[in-house]
Amino acid sequence: MITIALAELRLILRNRTILVMATVLPLGFLALMLVNGRNDRPEMAVLHVMMMMGFTVFLAGTTTLTSRRQQLYLKRLRSSPTPVPSIIAGLIGPLIVLSLLQIGLFLGLAGQLPGRPLLLAAAALTGAVTWGAFSFLTAAFTRTPEAAQITTAPVYLLLLGGMFWVLNTPVDAVTLPQLLVPGGAISQLIRLSWGGPVSTAPLTLVLGAAIAAAAVAVAVRTFRWEPRA
């Protein structure tokens, strides 16, 4: 897994398009938020975490997976003795680590530390798995890296739609349907890490984990390791 992850990191650094998606866009968004101010609000943390993972894990992940499949790199990995879970972790792991570093950088520069850090860690982990699974799922229907700009749009809007639906509702008034929309439970967990009724955190975490697990299950069934004939 580590060998695949290091090789993937080198490939990411050599690909300008993926490098821009995974670093330049997120850091540009980070700079914009810091200049704009008002970063001490939990809502800003929600927006930052979701956008960073959207850029770094989902958009860059979909593009890089499609590119590797087109190059037959995934086919060679699949036929190797390496277990499939290790291959998947090696492919998406560097992007997840990078997104977590970006989130940590924002929280540090903004001076925004939650009172319930374990909830934030749970939200970040759940979000990473969710965005990563959707990158594999979307890559299954993306023929070329260039097409990723189109195929990622519906999923990106769905996840951000769930986020904004939750953000437009008081933290103690979020309903079950809002938590069942992808992105909703993750956003609520981030808010709860700063305040709100902690008694609702277990259900929110369970629903977020269930959505992540469902996304993983669908992605495993639909992902293509070879280009379409």
Residues 208-215: contacts with CB under 8 Å, at least 24 apart: 208/122, 208/123, 208/126, 208/130, 208/179, 209/126, 211/130, 211/180, 211/182, 211/185, 212/126, 212/129, 212/130, 212/133, 215/129, 215/130, 215/133, 215/134, 215/137, 215/182
The answer on pLDDT for 226 being more than 70 is yes
The DSSP annotation for 148-176 comes to HHHHHHHHHHHHHHHHHHHHTS-TTS--H
Q: Check if the beta carbon of residue 81 is closer than 8 Å to that of residue 32.
A: no
The residue count of the chain comes to 229
CA 111 to CA 178: how far, in whole Å?
A: 29
The pLDDT assigned to 40 comes to 58
What does pLDDT average to over the chain?
87
Q: Dig out the tokens for 114 from the structure.
A: 């939650």
Give residue 36's pLDDT band: very low, low, confident or very high (50, 70, 90). low
**% of the chain beyond a pLDDT of 90:** 49
Over the stretch 132-179, which tens digit does the pLDDT of each residue have?
Answer: 999 999 999 999 988 998 999 999 999 889 999 999 999 999 999 999
Question: Distances in Å between the alpha carbon of 126 and those of 6, 10, 184?
Answer: 23, 26, 12
Residue 203's closest CA among 227, 229, 224, 178? Answer: 178
Mean pLDDT on 66-90: 89
Mean pLDDT on 11-18: 74
Q: State pTM to two decimals.
A: 0.89
CA 52 to CA 96: how far, in whole Å?
A: 10
The answer on pLDDT for 38 being more than 70 is no
The pLDDT assigned to 39 comes to 59
Give residue 51's pLDDT band: very low, low, confident or very high (50, 70, 90). confident
Q: Check if the beta carbon of residue 128 is closer than 8 Å to that of residue 57.
A: yes
Q: Cα 51 to the chain's mean position, in Å?
A: 8
Over the stretch 168-210, which tens digit does the pLDDT of each residue have?
Answer: 999 999 999 999 999 999 999 999 999 889 999 999 999 999 9
